[in-house]
Structure 1
Amino acid sequence: MIRYGILGFGHHAIKRMVPGFSYAQSSQLAGLWRRDPVKAEANARAYSIPRVFASAGDLCASPEIDAVFIASPDALHLADVLTAARHGKHILCEKPLAMNASEAEQMLSAANAAGIRFGVAQNMRYYRSLELIRQWIAEGRIGAPALAQSQFAFNAAASPRVWIYDSSLALGGPIGDVAIHCIDALRFILDTTVAQISTLAHRDAHSGSVESHAALALAFASGAMGAVTVTTRTAYRTVIEVVGETGAILCENGLTVDHPVEVMLRRRTEVESVETVSNADAYGRMLDGFSAWIEGGVEYRSPGTDGLINQRILDAAYRSWRTGETQTP
């Protein structure tokens, strides 16, 4: 059993990680730290978490913690990763991994020097919806993929994560927050990476210095073309769609854990197959995947080296927005 401590215990930890640990078989939530000690004690009581630590350093130094899950705001990830690595703890860090690729490279160097496992919490690589789409593509059921798209839309107006509009703490708006999920999902199901990226985006009256809407055009190394659209200003919707030479796969709300979803395979005008899957246990499977890697098992699906690839893609996306030019990650 791998014992985890959460640094930056807040809304995400409450909404996703605590339920995720309830699904896990070989991962245990053993402690937490958050900046507000009163809230930390209340959280520990509410969710039966054994230990509350007085500081991030105390959590990382504790012999009762084997691995650190970093859920702090984006700009704090580097310091938190370096602290955990300095104490020899394995690290699973939330996305976006860093504020830029240079920070991600520093994280990797520290992890390698410490001889620890270092991964990124790209939980969607453990979604059964994406696993099924990846399987169907690999089986050749739609021929070679030509087009792929992913969308993630939600309304952040009432989000308790108030820091997501603060550019000193957040990498950006929905590009850094959820487009990274869309990009990573497409990379995972297509088993490729992004060769070029072009971004259109804009801010609105409530988003401050970060974007509120964005559309990203992607050229994949495989030759397929892709599109990612994201916003923090609409009702919730996610979608994954891949069009191949002989068919198409569509999954409406395929990036949700909140209810079962249908994955549909079409050949020409006919529906060939529909499977209903649930992603409810994805966070638990992610945690157990990382724990297995710590214990010498198969490599975790989103190691830090792959996180650096995603970070370079994000850097290129934001460069494209600033310059108006297509960028290479």
Structure 2
Amino acid sequence: MKFRWCVIGAGGIADRRAIPAIIKDENFELAAIMDRTPAVAEKLGKKYKTKFYTNEETMLKETPCDGVYIGTPVALHVPQALTALKYGCNVLLEKPLAMNAAECDGLVSAFKRENKLLDAGYMMKYHNLHVKAKNLVQSGKIGQVNTARFFFSCWYPEIAGAWRQNKALGGGGSAMDLAVHCVELIEYVLGEEIAETKGFLANRTFSYEVEDTCVFLFRTKSGVIGSIEAGFNAPDGCGSKMEIYGTEGCVICSGTLGQEEKGSLSYLHVPFGGYDAMQNSAAPKPKRYYGAGGDLYLKQFRRFAALASRGENDYFYAERAAQVQRVLDGVYAEYR
């Protein structure tokens, strides 16, 4: 039997990434879609040859499904997820999970009470190079990890009606949209949580009501120190970086932060010791690995469907999403 998906918020990221991933898998069925804009709902219903609605509750009343994907503005996540839960649905909710950590915690608790699966749309951890980075770091291949750095940006000018530029709908700007991925990834790769942050938010380029620039330092529970730079005001061609440095080498991912499985990973291993006062020691050449070109959304959906089909309600990633939001709450609290 196919795993039946309903989609709430069928435009935007759902149309660009999520729905195309669902229809790639012969074991999935796109049971219905919903969008509050009638013209969008009808257009996408016809495009994907499925039932379409403008109200999520009506869709869920009339359409049996095994999982619900929600790709709407952040302010709608909690009420829409709870509506899906009311109809006994497992939910894959786009990131960030909610507007703040308290909302995240409440949502996770609600799904636990009803014994239904909840997961957050942090798909970048499924990138083959991020999995490689995690394995290298956690197996000690670069020794004791001491520092880390992220750079993640895009060009996002002022656009009329863009909900990510509306504080009431999105909760924040480049920190809420981009930096959250970096927080989730560093906790995934290191296998530990960020304990404290110090940073700055600013509107350097655009005049919308959320920040277009975010830079903050962090320290993990074990003492790793790092920085995250996330902005809506650097050209897309600037690329992205995730750098992790240890006592015996480093892992540097270039161009891997984003919606596609591309980019490269450079791994350098230098055995511990060998101090050279003249700094003439010849470092070995790094090993290079490349993105596998897979579909990150499809990987995420397959994991979710497998868990839901087996009745395995693993809340680890949902709880991590709440932890990520606690980190962001701290960044915003310092700024405000």
What TM-score, normalized by structure 2, do the two folds share?
A: 0.89
Tell whether 2:196 aligns with 1:182. Answer: no
Q: What is the identity, as a one-letter code, of the residue corresponding to 1:19?
A: P
Residues 280-320 of structure 1 deviation map (CA, whole Å, 9 limit, x = unaligned)? 32110100111111122776686322221111111111112
Identity %: 23
Tell whether 2:203 aligns with 1:203. Answer: yes
Task: Verify the 8 A CA contact 2:149 2:226 in the aligned structure 1.
Answer: yes
Partner of 2:280: none
Distance 1:300 1:21, change over 3 A: farther
Instruction: Report deviation, 1:203.
Output: 1.5
**Secondary structure in 1 aligned to 2:184?**
helix
Q: What is the identity, as a one-letter code, of the residue corresponding to 2:147?
A: L
**Secondary structure in 1 aligned to 2:235?**
strand
Task: Verify the 8 A CA contact 1:59 1:65 in the aligned structure 2.
Answer: no
Partner of 1:69: 69
Q: What is the identity, as a one-letter code, of the residue corresponding to 2:227?
A: A
Instruction: Report deviation, 1:43.
Output: 1.0
Distance 1:27 1:159, change over 3 A: farther
Instruction: Report deviation, 1:102.
Output: 1.9
How many angstroms apart in 2 are the aligned matches of 1:262 and 1:14?
Answer: 27
Partner of 1:276: 290
Task: Verify the 8 A CA contact 1:187 1:193 in the aligned structure 2.
Answer: yes
How many angstroms apart in 2 are the aligned matches of 1:162 and 1:91?
Answer: 25
Distance 1:203 1:81, change over 3 A: same
**Secondary structure in 1 aligned to 2:240?**
strand
Instruction: Report deviation, 1:272.
Output: 3.3
Residues 22-47 of structure 1 deviation map (CA, whole Å, 9 limit, x = unaligned)? 44464433211001122111112223
Bigger Cα displacement from structure 2, 200-209 vs 169-178: 200-209
Instruction: Report deviation, 1:259.
Output: 6.2
Q: What is the identity, as a one-letter code, of the residue corresponding to 2:144?
A: A
**Secondary structure in 1 aligned to 2:64?**
coil
How many angstroms apart in 2 are the aligned matches of 1:232 and 1:181?
Answer: 14
Partner of 2:322: 308
Instruction: Report deviation, 1:159.
Output: 6.3
Residues 118-159 of structure 1 deviation map (CA, whole Å, 9 limit, x = unaligned)? 111111121111001111112221112111111211001276
Residues 185-221 of structure 1 deviation map (CA, whole Å, 9 limit, x = unaligned)? 1111111111101121112463422111010111011
Q: Report matched runs for 1:12-23 at 5 Å.
A: 12-23=13-24
Q: Report matched runs for 1:94-109 at 5 Å.
A: 94-109=94-109
Q: Report matched runs for 1:245-284 at 5 Å.
A: 245-258=247-260, 260-268=262-270, 269-284=283-298
Partner of 2:242: 240
- Structure 2 residue runs without a partner (length 5+): 271-282
- Which of 297, 301, 310 is 1:296 aligned to? 310
Partner of 2:229: 229
How many angstroms apart in 2 are the aligned matches of 1:300 and 1:283?
Answer: 18
Partner of 1:56: 56
Distance 1:136 1:80, change over 3 A: same
How many angstroms apart in 2 are the aligned matches of 1:189 and 1:127?
Answer: 12
Distance 1:101 1:189, change over 3 A: same
Distance 1:167 1:271, change over 3 A: same
Instruction: Report deviation, 1:59.
Output: 2.2
How many angstroms apart in 2 are the aligned matches of 1:143 and 1:24?
Answer: 40
How many angstroms apart in 1 are the aligned matches of 2:315 and 2:126?
Answer: 8
How many angstroms apart in 2 are the aligned matches of 1:156 and 1:120?
Answer: 24
Alpha carbon RMSD of aligned pairs, Å? Answer: 2.0
Q: What is the identity, as a one-letter code, of the residue corresponding to 1:31?
A: A
Structure exhibiting the larger radius of gyration computed from Cα positions = 2
Aligned length: 321
Task: Verify the 8 A CA contact 1:129 1:279 in the aligned structure 2.
Answer: no
**Secondary structure in 2 aligned to 1:97?**
coil
How many angstroms apart in 2 are the aligned matches of 1:134 and 1:297?
Answer: 27
Partner of 1:47: 48
Q: What is the identity, as a one-letter code, of the residue corresponding to 1:165?
A: Q
Distance 1:298 1:249, change over 3 A: farther
Bigger Cα displacement from structure 2, 294-303 vs 180-189: 294-303
How many angstroms apart in 2 are the aligned matches of 1:103 and 1:154?
Answer: 28
Task: Verify the 8 A CA contact 2:158 2:208 in the aligned structure 1.
Answer: no
